Amino acid sequence: MSIQTITTNIQRYSKAIADITKKEGEQMKKKSTAQKKLIDLSKRMNGRNLSSSTIKSILSQMERENKNIADCDTKLASLANDKSRNQNYLIKEEEKLRKEQEHQKKEQERKRKLQEQKDKAKDLQNLRKFKALEKSVSELRNIVPEEYYETPEELENNDREYDFFISHASEDKENFVRPLAASLVEAGCKVWYDETVLKPGDSLRRCIDKGLVDSRFGLVVISPSFIKKRWTDYELNGMVAKEMNGHKVIIPIWYNVTIDDVLHFSPTLADKLAIDASRLTLEEVVEQAMSVLQNK
């Protein structure tokens, strides 16, 4: 039973008791009036030289007042029973209210403690993520070339040779990356794409480093194959190093992956506004990439 229902019952019984008390007062007043009249009539009976008709009238009035007193006593007894019954109901409802309030208090305390546990667990999880991020940043600074760490002024004033650096897995070349690179070039973009930039004998790592430094944005084609690659991690770390200097340079493109896949791979990337290639045509992917370049 809810507290509101119990409170309504308590109010109902309290009003009933108040009404009965009022009626008891009225009956007590009637009884008192009848008793006073009876005393006055008794005094008159003790008077001298009363005629028989007068005595008869006084006796009749005394009988009537005795009847009034008896009626008042009957009604007072009935009212007392009703009052006692409602008082018992009231006591029971007040006990119910006390127990329900105690139950709700315990429930609120339980929920409060549960929320505290959740908050502590969340804080601990955030702390672990923060420490993991600190560790990743520390490791990143050890493996990423120094030329990535440019000042914001250098990033702003440095003319880039390429508009986009495409980081991808080789398994995605034929079906998606090669057509994407070609479409970007057709749209007038300068694209660092390994098939068009790398020559036989070039140092792969050195060329990637230069491509990352000389590009305005990095298009990261995140796919199941990308997530498994070591070289793609190296490229991604380079772009993250750029973002650590205050510039947003990473443009994720989701290719045959879900949000859960990206979250598992990199919560940081999952938090970025991405181009979902599974829902767009190649032309729409190019348009969205171009819009970022134009708003630079």
Two tokens at 256? 């045959």
Phi, psi of 198 (to 5 degrees): -70, 140
233 found inside a domain:
yes
Helix (H, G, I), strand (E, B) or coil at 250: strand
Answer yes or no: do 172 and 271 share one domain.
yes
- Helix (H), strand (E) at residue 173: none
The predicted pLDDT at position 197 comes to: 65
Q: pLDDT exceeding 90 applies to what percent of the chain? A: 43
Q: Residue 237 — very low, low, confident or very high, per pLDDT cuts 50/70/90? A: low
Answer yes or no: do 67 and 152 share one domain.
no
Two tokens at 44? 């008159």
- Answer yes or no: pTM beyond 0.85: no
Q: What is the residue range of 112's domain? A: 3-116
Two tokens at 37? 């009249």
Q: Compute the residue count for the chain.
A: 296
Answer yes or no: do 283 and 151 share one domain.
yes
The predicted pLDDT at position 93 comes to: 93
B/e letters for 22-40, b = 16+ CB within 10 Å, e = fewer, are ebbeebeebbeebeebbee
- Helix (H), strand (E) at residue 159: none
d(CA 240, CA 223): 18
What would the mean pLDDT of 133-157 be, rounded to a whole number?
47
Instruction: Calculate ∠ Cα 99-102-104, nearest 5°.
Output: 110
* Domain containing residue 48: CATH number: 1.20.120
235 catalytically annotated:
yes
pLDDT of 239 higher than 80: no
Answer yes or no: do 65 and 199 share one domain.
no
Query: How many domains does the chain contain in total?
Result: 2
pLDDT tens-digit readout, 86-107: 999 999 999 999 999 999 999 9
Q: What's at 181, amino acid-wise?
A: A
pLDDT of 154 higher than 90: no
Give the residue, 188 or 272, on which the prediction is more confident.
Answer: 188
Nearest to 228 by CA among 163, 168, 288: 168
138 found inside a domain:
no
pLDDT of 256 higher than 50: yes
126 found inside a domain:
no
pLDDT tens-digit readout, 161-210: 888 988 888 889 999 999 999 999 999 999 988 777 655 444 444 555 66
* Domain containing residue 240: CATH number: 3.40.50.10140
Nearest to 266 by CA among 215, 231, 226, 213: 226
205 found inside a domain:
yes
What is the distance between the terminal CA atoms of the chain, rounded to a whole angstrom? 63
Answer yes or no: do 102 and 165 share one domain.
no
219 found inside a domain:
yes
Q: What's at 241, amino acid-wise?
A: A
pLDDT tens-digit readout, 12-59: 999 999 999 999 999 999 999 999 999 999 888 887 788 889 889 999
Give the residue, 128 or 159, on which the prediction is more confident.
Answer: 128
Q: Among the ranges 38-42, 79-83, 195-199, 253-257, which has the highest mean pLDDT value?
A: 79-83
Two tokens at 17? 């008791």
Answer yes or no: do 112 and 158 share one domain.
no
55 found inside a domain:
yes
Answer yes or no: do 25 and 84 share one domain.
yes
pLDDT of 217 higher than 80: yes
37 found inside a domain:
yes
| Packing angle of the helix pair 178-186, 282-294 (nearest 10 deg) | 50
Two tokens at 8? 């309504």
Q: Residue 113 — very low, low, confident or very high, per pLDDT cuts 50/70/90? A: very high
d(CA 122, CA 116): 10
Q: Residue 283 — very low, low, confident or very high, per pLDDT cuts 50/70/90? A: very high
Pairing of strands 275-276, 250-254: parallel
Q: Which of 65, 93, 150, 235 is catalytic?
A: 235
